[in-house]
Amino acid sequence: MPSISLPLAGHIPEEYVSNLNTRLSLYHRLAKVEHIEEVADIGQEFEDRFGALPQPVDNLLYMVKIKVLAMRAKVSSISTQGRQLS
């Protein structure tokens, strides 16, 4: 699995999903995503269940998309230099 190091704060804030077990379950689901379409589905579920996506959750979904695309392209690692991915 590619390692991702982006200059983004990507997480599920406690203020957005207060229950720890629910947050952990959501992280687990995101870690298992293999298809880009799943990210949009999970994002929609977040909005339906918890309301508008805060920036850290939006960033997290973006990072998952990058991970899925990198896995599909067989990229072994992703890093940043300044504000550019390499």
Q: What are the two backbone dihedrals, phi and then psi, of residue 82, each rounded to the nearest 5 degrees? A: 65, -120
Whether the model clears a pTM of 0.75, i.e. scores above it, the answer is yes
pLDDT for 1: 47
**Distances, alpha carbon 37 to alpha carbons 2, 42, 60, 66, 79, in Å:** 19, 9, 15, 12, 24
41: confidence class by pLDDT, cuts 50, 70, 90: very high
pLDDT for 77: 77
- For 12-33, the pLDDT digits (tens) are 999 999 999 999 999 999 999 9
**Distances, alpha carbon 72 to alpha carbons 6, 18, 78, in Å:** 19, 33, 13
Does residue 72 surpass a pLDDT of 80? Answer: yes
Give the domain 3-85 fold. Aspartate Aminotransferase, domain 1 (3.90.1150)
